[in-house]
Amino acid sequence: MPIVAQEQIRESVALTHDKKSARQTLLDEARLGLSLVEKGIVFDSEELKKFQDPIELTSGFNRRGGLTGFYLPHGISSRGQFSRWTPYALVIEDNKPVLYDDGKRIGVITFHKGNPTSEQLLSTGEKVRDITNISAQGGLHVMYSNECSLKDLGEDCLYCAFNERAKDGTRNKVLLKSPKQVAEAYDIARQAGVANHFRITGGFVPERRELEYYLDVADAIKEKYSSFYGCAVVGAPADLSVLSKYKEAGFDNVSTNIEVWDKHIFAAMCPGKEKRNGGWQHWVDALEYSVDIFGWGNVHSAIVGGLEPLESTLEGIEYLASKGVVCHFSAFRPEKGTPLEGYRSPEAEWHWQLLDKATDIFVRYGFTTLQMYSGNASGSHSAQVFQIKAGEFEGDKLAQWKFPSLDGIQNN
């Protein structure tokens, strides 16, 4: 074999080895992120405030205050609440926040930055961030209602603190956003190049009212823009044919969140969804029906990881993926004011098994990174692990993914 050819083979093997090594480094960091969420971090909140973005500190997504989201040294996004009994610590070194694990230096972290567009004012005086959250991926998340009608019926999902969070008037200044307000906030964000995805959701409301509201919002946006790229997060309608109306209105994705795969645990954990939306089987039927309308990978659902056995959750993710549904998942965290307050979520290793095996399923069924980010707001952790497994990284760093621009404007 010619010497040149031998050298080329050696270089190829070295590159493959480097890629595999970087891949493992990133996966290990993703695993660390879950451990930080479980075990918490010891830190001095006053010392860290100067490193944290004021927009993030006042965000409704930072409900507990203190430590906002951050990027670990290799780019994985994570969070961690204060804990005195933890091996993890944040200390200031050379005027930078550095993460330690039981005295071993992990590296410098970087706090998430809020988008300045969120501070702009609407014509009615509210700030953009009072109406919508601007994500790091260059998308918008609108919680159009901060209250859920299931509470009055005594049928709240047992794990959900939606109505409890609505009591915080500081972080929920507008309890019900009008379609006009949503469209104006969308316009401001789109002009800034950060409305390349539009996700809208809210508390449980009567089915007809939900549909009419979503259509009104879409119409308000299309008074100025011919189209938008978005996801409607809705309940399973009694009449499945109405799902086509969301597509006709301009939504490219739809999400119907089943929350629990085991049908018996679903009935116990989600009594309102069981009684008001035809039960577990109807939610599954709605998801499969939606694929015919929106297409493979453009239909989404969500499961709360930790409310049922791991095997059951993975069974649901696998089944739905085989039908073209991206079933996202979050980690169950017991919240104050809910019937499950005081319970424990499974430990980080359990959640890692879910994250690792579920993303293998997503890769196997041919979903794309865009589809991983285009569903409900269950967090970017699974999408980042999906990117790692798909080889979408340079060196040993995972760059922040952005939605493709709609108007040729560079994302901020």
Structure-block tokens of residue 271: 């009594």
Helix (H/G/I), strand (E/B), else coil: 190: helix
Question: How far is the C-alpha of 273 from the C-alpha of 281, rounded, in Å?
Answer: 11
The mean per-residue pLDDT over the stretch 87-101 comes to: 97
State residue 216's pLDDT score: 96
Percentage of residues of the chain with pLDDT beyond 70: 85
Residue with the bigger pLDDT between 113 and 3: it is: 113
SS3 letters for 5-67? HHHHHHHHHHHHHHHHHHHHHHHHHHHHHHHHHHHCEECCHHHHHHHCCHHHHCCCCCCCCCC
In sequence order, the 6+-apart residues with CB closer than 8 A to the CB of 9 are: none
The whole-chain average pLDDT of the chain stands at: 88
Residue with the bigger pLDDT between 61 and 235: it is: 235
Q: pLDDT band at 152, cuts 50/70/90?
A: low
**Res. 248: pLDDT tops 80:** yes
Percentage of residues of the chain with pLDDT beyond 90: 69
Ranges of beta strands (E only) in 223-296 are: 230-233, 253-255
State residue 145's pLDDT score: 79
Q: pLDDT band at 174, cuts 50/70/90?
A: low
State residue 8's pLDDT score: 44
Instruction: Determine contact, residues 129/141, Cβ cutoff 8 Å.
Output: no
The mean per-residue pLDDT over the stretch 185-194 comes to: 97
Domains within the chain, CATH numbers bracketed: 11-111 (no CATH), 128-389 (3.20.20.70)
Residue with the bigger pLDDT between 174 and 96: it is: 96
State residue 160's pLDDT score: 77
CA-to-CA dists, residue 50 to 67, 75, 97, 105, 384, angstroms: 12, 21, 10, 21, 27
**Res. 163: pLDDT tops 60:** no
Q: pLDDT band at 11, cuts 50/70/90?
A: very low
Under the phi-then-psi rule, with left for phi > 0, alpha for psi from -120 to 50, and beta for the rest, what region is 296?
beta
Question: How far is the C-alpha of 91 from the C-alpha of 184, rounded, in Å?
Answer: 42
Residue with the bigger pLDDT between 401 and 7: it is: 401
pTM: 0.90
Backbone angles phi, psi at 109, to 5 degrees: -105, 160
Ranges of beta strands (E only) in 61-150 are: 70-71, 77-78, 88-93, 96-101, 104-108, 110-111, 133-134, 140-143
**Res. 149: pLDDT tops 70:** no
**Res. 262: pLDDT tops 60:** yes
Q: pLDDT band at 167, cuts 50/70/90?
A: low
CA-to-CA dists, residue 390 to 20, 274, 312, angstroms: 12, 37, 25
Residue type, 189: A
State residue 9's pLDDT score: 42
Helical (H) or strand (E) element with 327: strand 325-331
Question: How far is the C-alpha of 6 from the C-alpha of 221, rounded, in Å?
Answer: 59
Q: pLDDT band at 175, cuts 50/70/90?
A: low
**Res. 25: pLDDT tops 60:** yes
> β-pairing, 230-233 with 96-101?
unpaired
Q: pLDDT band at 209, cuts 50/70/90?
A: confident
Instruction: Identify the burial level of 389 via C-beta atoms within 10 angstroms of its C-beta, where 0-12 means exposed, 13-18 middle and 19 or more buried.
Output: middle
Q: Pick the closest to residue 113 from 170, 47, 69 (CA basis).
A: 69
State residue 195's pLDDT score: 96
pLDDT tens for each residue of 378-399: 556 899 999 999 999 999 999 9
